[in-house]
Structure 1
Amino acid sequence: MSDELIAGLYDHILTEALSARTLEIDPELVKIQELRPADASDRIARLLARQIERALDSVPEKLRVDVGVRVAHALLDTLHEHIPGTGSTVEKPAEPGRALAAIGSFDLGGTARFPQQPLTPLIDTTLLSNAPGEPRIGHQIPSEIDSADSIDVVMAFIRRSGLRRLLPALRKHCGAGKSLRVLTTTYTGSTEAEALNLLAEIGADVRVSYDVTTARLHAKAWLFHRRSGLNTAYVGSSNLTHSAQIDGMEWNVRVAAARNPDVMVKISAVFESYWQSGDFVPYLEDEFREELARANNRDGRTRSTLSPLEIRLEPFQERLLELIEVARQNGRHHNLLVSATGTGKTVMAAVDYTRLRQRLPRARLLFIAHRREILDQSMETFRQAVRDPSFGEFWVGGKRPADYEHVFASVQALNSYGAKNLPEDHFDVVIIDEFHHASAASYQAILDRLKPQELLGLTATPERADGLSVLEWFDGRIAAELRLWDAIEQHRLAPFVYYGIHDGIDLTEVPWRRGQGYDSAGLTEAYVGNERWMRLVLDQLVQHVDEISEIRCLGFCVSIGHAQYMAEQFQQLGVKAVAVWGDTPENERKSALQQLAKGDINVVFSVDLFNEGVDVPAVDTLLFLRPTDSPTLFLQQLGRGLRLQKGKTVCTVLDFVGTHRREFRFDQRYRALLGGTRSEVVRAIECDFPFLPAGCHMELTKTAREIVLRNIRDAVPGYWSERVRELEALSQVRTSVSLSDYLVETGLELGDIYANNRCWSDLRKAAGLTVAESGSQERELRRALGRLQHLDDRQRLDSYREFLEAKPDPKALSGTNTATAGRHFVWF
């Protein structure tokens, strides 16, 4: 640390010298915080280490070892005096100071052999940049191999040119019966089968990821495990190629467990998670060459899970279906699959059905959705899954089935024509897409009527803004789940960059309808004709994308008039844009999306049309031009831009934030996205969203952040169902939740909990948490607790506490009036 304390961030233990220097600065500019017990051992040890190192460096070199040993003896004696029983005295360095360098073994001729010492000492962490005058990564790696007991390698690209120099050392390593595990990928087609063959021939265990939809594996790392505990790792930019190993301008960090044990543990854990995942499969040359050819021959379209020949599930999809199968084996035949938009729910459902029909005596299918586009796509997917181009009949609009064997029906058609006319057990398998709609009366009537052998619900977002639950059909459980964050983390969806931008629109006077939100006509009036606002939208779009003429953007609008206005204005300003809505002819809607995918159109503005069931992987930009606090709608709209597409690295999201009414709930949409409690969402916003999946970024402009935070803090849960959901969410992230915790997290007052003859136990029970066993007067006691809120004198409070904590016989309590008071306190 420099002698001058300049403005900035510090993380130093406040020593006497440092404390004296802070006195020279205005106290308002100095921030001091307590040293946390959890950090104390590490921070104090580091302080001592720096002081010892600096002091010993000042000792003449010829005396340094002797002085150092004596200092260590004195310090360890002092440590034992203050903290006995820790074994510190047995760790005194032996005199004179020496270090154990190696333990060898005898070869067949009886000669002692010792492992090669790496050029960089095993205890040092350093940076290697292939610069002149320092060891190159290509020379360092062979020197590490000789002393390693096992080696793990994760390498995006492996070629013979980079492997040749290492083969003799690796062959010797494997020949001694030591483990060599290698993870690689076909990404960009750089890895050579010949190189993997060489590794397999010497005894390496090689696994390959064939996911080329994104940079599924782009890491480069070597892990050298040693039973001595002196593990090392190299993490950086060098692939296993000649240029990267020898003469490339590469940066690689050599990590030593002796210096950075936590980092080494994490590197090992991440490698192990990759190794155990189903994404990496054992290397087989024929399969590798086939997958490599398939990747190289791809014609620029996104890699679909559907192939011309067969449906091949991704490992994560297989895992989700396995969970559903486990549920069925445990006797649960109503199952909900929750999987983020764009992860292939329909594909999974189709494969699941093909497996069911192989073992069910009869497999009549009813697939239900609420839009024709969803039914079209779903029927095509099922046809490929069952390998039957004529599979399925539509029951939608004016179309009625002929055979009623495999029916793809709209919920509107089923209600209009009367599902009640069907025998309740006619369909053996019922699959309902977008199951979050199932709380609607139109779905309830169908679900109440039908009794299939297997019911499968599909949704990305089971949570509803109105608080109604869809889990009642599934015994309150989700059978299999892959949420948005997990899907992005696993590279099943594209990452996104989100910008919340204050647009200056005041919506506080727009009428609000409970259960529906803002009045559509009022919103339309606020936006349509507002040239300043429209210009802001376009200016922000230009600022946040590389080239507006190359984007493929969806804009979500309030109304038909709003969508038409935006398209007209963008066209006038030279941006190729169209507007579509529910009444737009189907061929025009399809044409708009096809032109968007090809780049003939840059922006499609829509109204409640592309929230669900639309697959346009090319979409790389989203404009949120309508205020929505519905978590379902927010995630659905976000999901429109997250499907994977070759060449798409990220989806840009512009969310325009106005000043809202108190009823509007920012917390619902951000909690659906980020997870956690309200207070955790607030902290995430205040800290600029620090914990996001790799490749994702979120930021709010200063004014937008102030608006959002104020809205969240003011939006305390007012209804009983909201309070129950708050407690459910809090209990998922904490092992136990006290009443005090709940009040702090939600911003509620104690009186809110005990209003309307309810209490904390009622709330816990409603949230599915444990409560004490009910007594004979439980109901009366719970209702009466709210009448104790006015008590604030210490004497009565102490008396009641004493009574409640006492044995059953209240006469054993001290004080003659305590027992009497305790028996009757609930009637105050």
Structure 2
Amino acid sequence: MSLSLRPYQRAAIEALYDYFAGNTGNPLVVLPTGTGKSVVIGGFIREAIAAYADTRVLVLTHVKELIQQNFLALLRAWPEAPAGIYSAGLSRRDIRAQVLFAGIQSIHRHARQVQQCDLVLIDEAHLLGRSDSGMYRSFLAQLNDINGGLLKVVGFTATPYRLDSGLLHEGKDRLFTDIAFEVPVLEMIQQGYLCPVVPKHTETQLDVGGVGTRGGEFIAKDLEAAVDRDEVTRAAVQEIVQHGEGRGSWLVFCSGVAHARHVRDAIREHGIACETVTGDTPAPERDGILSAFKAGRLRCVTNANVLTTGFDAPGTDLIALLRPTKSVGLYVQMVGRGTRLAEGKDDCLVLDFAGNTARHGPIDKVDGRKKEPAGDGEAPIKVCPECQTINHASVRRCIACDHEFPPPEVKVAAKAASNALLSIQEQAAWCEVTGVRYARHEKPGKPASLRVTYDCGISAHSEWVCFEHTGYPRDKALSWWRRRAANLPPPATVDEALAATSTLRRPIAIQLRAAGQYTEIVATRFV
């Protein structure tokens, strides 16, 4: 049985073949959230076993939900797969399975029980921080020795940098050596495989200038003390409710457990059904909340540090960031929860109260390299009002007299920041659509396409929809059709499309950017 792969998924697998044909390192495959890493993993496994029937594969990750998701994804595509699970959290130890999906915490001491292994695939590789590399390194070293030094290791991630510091394939303690394949998030959005994320001005902006940093990230306790203020929470929630009108699934990232609950309570005061998920939420309760959210029975979920990885709710169409972070990876992962496609979903609105977009830039242009401290500017200090001793900004008590400093102040900015979530939004403008025209377009030597012309006052802008092409153009055409006629089967020809244009949703605005002497349509907004 062959797996159905999109062109870029096929290209990812081919890139791994090419890599191992000429290299001996541990490569990374970088695919944005929502583009089907589990499908690529399943396809690679299936083909490896088809080529060499006794190939033994181990798929590792940190999170039990991901272990189960990847296992089930393989079985859906290949029901006869010789697959099993090794995870204490899932109460399964199928150590002899030919394809073994395992949690690193459960299996890292049991390399000798695993024995033969040809291929190790590490999912959500960005979760492998510096403190985790020893666990992986020891386990993989033992496994490599057992298998005569022939073990191949591949990492899969949407963000090729550690959540705590630096690029995954750089640095002396790196486990991965190269990026074998990467497809940009902007390309996936433009080709219709992901939906756009749209930033909106927020009047409330959190000022965390007095919060200290440890290990490249805000100190968690100090951050929550700074952010979890009733007046700020109420101001932010007021904006969430205002912007969320007409949007069905809101996901809110908070700065701590107490903060998540306080935000939940403030949202409930507006009559909105809202629940909270944290690391302390019992598994049955958590599963019930998330199931209701995914099914559309629950409008809003607030969370603290648990829904950034392995959480799939395609209908999410509003994300509120009340969690400032210095981690590029965490920022991209949070925004990435809103990029999946869903029926009736045109885009995902992102309300960044935390200044993360200004801090890191558009998600398709972020730099995951560890930044060195700047040499200029004021030092991060504070002066004790009791004894005038100079202290580091992060301390809670004076080092000389033990005076307790108040939590860092949170300020409501007088003017909200305006930042693009995608680089194209830095130079693109929205135009109101006053009319839409459809026509058949012929080009010598090429299949026909549907020319769509949008009248915007005295200007007109066109795009070409390629129903009769193959590969990316055809896939993009199908996505274009789904957004306008989700209940109608997509046409196979331009003539079929023209016959159905009267049933298509009409956009109210298009977003344009300059492309040489022409303009390019990069997004569409519907009623």
CA contact (8 A) 2:319 2:338 kept: yes
Residue 433 (structure 1) aligned to one of 107, 120, 123: 123
Judge which range, 433-442 or 498-507, deviates more.
498-507
Matched to 2:26, the amino acid is: H
Judge which range, 563-572 or 398-407, deviates more.
398-407
Residue 361 (structure 2) aligned to one of 651, 670, 692: 670
1:559 and 2:259 matched: no
Give the whole-Å Cα distance in 1 for the aligned partners of 2:107 and 2:281.
24
Give the whole-Å Cα distance in 1 for the aligned partners of 2:423 and 2:205.
29
Could you tell me which residue of structure 2 aligns to residue 515 of structure 1?
215
Could you tell me which residue of structure 2 aligns to residue 823 of structure 1?
none
Matched residue of 1:501: which SS? coil
* Greater relative CO, 1 or 2 (CA 8 Å, sep 6+): 2
Give the whole-Å Cα distance in 2 for the aligned partners of 1:536 and 1:605.
16
Could you tell me which residue of structure 2 aligns to residue 710 of structure 1?
none
1:410 and 2:103 matched: yes
Matched to 1:429, the amino acid is: L
Residue 499 (structure 1) aligned to one of 196, 200, 203: 200
Q: How does 1:474-623 map to 2 (within 5 A)?
A: 476-499=177-200, 501-510=202-211, 512-515=212-215, 517-528=217-228, 530-547=229-246, 550-623=247-320
1:692 and 2:413 matched: no
* Alpha-carbon shift at residue 475 of structure 1 (Å): 7.0
Residue 639 (structure 1) aligned to one of 324, 336, 344: 336
Matched to 1:558, the amino acid is: S
Residue 351 (structure 1) aligned to one of 39, 43, 59: 43
Q: Which has the larger radius of gyration?
A: 1
Give the whole-Å Cα distance in 1 for the aligned partners of 2:322 and 2:21.
46
Bigger helix fraction: 1
Matched to 1:353, the amino acid is: I
Could you tell me which residue of structure 1 aligns to residue 491 of structure 2?
none
Give the whole-Å Cα distance in 1 for the aligned partners of 2:429 and 2:306.
27
Matched to 2:277, the amino acid is: V
CA contact (8 A) 1:419 1:449 kept: no
Matched residue of 2:305: which SS? coil
Bigger strand fraction: 2
1:324 and 2:24 matched: no
Distance 1:576 1:613, change over 3 A: same
CA contact (8 A) 2:332 2:363 kept: yes
Distance 1:494 1:697, change over 3 A: farther
Question: 1:777-818 CA deviation, whole Å, 9 max, x = no partner?
Answer: xxxxxxxxxxxxxxxxxxxxxxxxxxxxxxxxxxxxxxxxxx
Could you tell me which residue of structure 2 aligns to residue 102 of structure 1?
none
Residue 62 (structure 2) aligned to one of 370, 386, 390: 370
Matched residue of 1:363: which SS? coil
Q: How does 1:3-42 map to 2 (within 5 A)?
A: none
Question: 1:454-477 CA deviation, whole Å, 9 max, x = no partner?
Answer: 322101111236444422667742
Q: How does 1:190-269 map to 2 (within 5 A)?
A: none
Matched to 1:344, the amino acid is: G
Residue 651 (structure 1) aligned to one of 348, 354, 361: 348
Structure 2: stretches of 5+ with no match in the other structure: 145-149, 370-416, 431-527
Residue 139 (structure 2) aligned to one of 434, 439, 446: 446
Give the whole-Å Cα distance in 1 for the aligned partners of 2:124 and 2:319.
21
CA contact (8 A) 2:362 2:422 kept: no
Distance 1:388 1:687, change over 3 A: closer
Could you tell me which residue of structure 1 aligns to residue 394 of structure 2?
none
Matched to 1:458, the amino acid is: F
Matched residue of 2:101: which SS? strand
Could you tell me which residue of structure 1 aligns to residue 159 of structure 2?
461
**Identity of aligned pairs, percent?**
27
Matched residue of 2:307: which SS? coil
Matched residue of 1:622: which SS? strand
Distance 1:403 1:464, change over 3 A: closer
* Total equivalences in the alignment: 371
Distance 1:546 1:505, change over 3 A: closer
Give the whole-Å Cα distance in 1 for the aligned partners of 2:426 and 2:273.
32
Matched to 1:488, the amino acid is: I
TM-score, normalising length: structure 1: 0.42
Matched to 1:493, the amino acid is: L
CA contact (8 A) 1:338 1:461 kept: yes
* Alpha-carbon shift at residue 694 of structure 1 (Å): 11
Distance 1:592 1:311, change over 3 A: farther
Could you tell me which residue of structure 2 aligns to residue 247 of structure 1?
none
Q: How does 1:774-785 map to 2 (within 5 A)?
A: none
Matched to 1:491, the amino acid is: G
Distance 1:343 1:694, change over 3 A: farther
Give the whole-Å Cα distance in 2 for the aligned partners of 1:657 and 1:577.
21
Matched to 1:381, the amino acid is: A
CA contact (8 A) 2:237 2:266 kept: no
CA contact (8 A) 2:197 2:421 kept: no
Question: 1:149-206 CA deviation, whole Å, 9 max, x = no partner?
Answer: xxxxxxxxxxxxxxxxxxxxxxxxxxxxxxxxxxxxxxxxxxxxxxxxxxxxxxxxxx
Judge which range, 459-468 or 601-610, deviates more.
459-468
* Alpha-carbon shift at residue 368 of structure 1 (Å): 0.6
Matched residue of 1:593: which SS? helix
Matched residue of 1:408: which SS? strand
Matched residue of 1:478: which SS? strand
Give the whole-Å Cα distance in 2 for the aligned partners of 1:657 and 1:572.
22
CA contact (8 A) 1:629 1:666 kept: no
TM-score, normalising length: structure 2: 0.64
Give the whole-Å Cα distance in 1 for the aligned partners of 2:338 and 2:427.
14
1:630 and 2:327 matched: yes
CA contact (8 A) 2:29 2:179 kept: yes
CA contact (8 A) 2:255 2:304 kept: yes
* Alpha-carbon shift at residue 412 of structure 1 (Å): 1.2
Distance 1:376 1:570, change over 3 A: same
Matched residue of 1:570: which SS? helix
Give the whole-Å Cα distance in 1 for the aligned partners of 2:88 and 2:427.
41
* Alpha-carbon shift at residue 670 of structure 1 (Å): 1.6
Matched to 1:460, the amino acid is: A
Question: 1:130-162 CA deviation, whole Å, 9 max, x = no partner?
Answer: xxxxxxxxxxxxxxxxxxxxxxxxxxxxxxxxx
Give the whole-Å Cα distance in 2 for the aligned partners of 1:508 and 1:592.
35
Distance 1:690 1:607, change over 3 A: closer
Matched residue of 2:28: which SS? strand
Matched to 1:598, the amino acid is: A
Give the whole-Å Cα distance in 2 for the aligned partners of 1:400 and 1:449.
20
Judge which range, 461-470 or 589-598, deviates more.
461-470
Matched to 1:471, the amino acid is: H
Question: 1:390-425 CA deviation, whole Å, 9 max, x = no partner?
Answer: 73123333532252432211111123xx134346x6
RMSD of aligned residue pairs (Cα, Å): 3.1
Distance 1:571 1:351, change over 3 A: same
Give the whole-Å Cα distance in 2 for the aligned partners of 1:505 and 1:484.
27
Matched residue of 1:431: which SS? strand
Give the whole-Å Cα distance in 2 for the aligned partners of 1:672 and 1:324.
25
Distance 1:351 1:623, change over 3 A: same
Matched residue of 2:162: which SS? coil
CA contact (8 A) 1:383 1:390 kept: no
Distance 1:595 1:677, change over 3 A: closer
Matched residue of 1:377: which SS? helix
Question: 1:370-398 CA deviation, whole Å, 9 max, x = no partner?
Answer: 01111110100111233227731233335
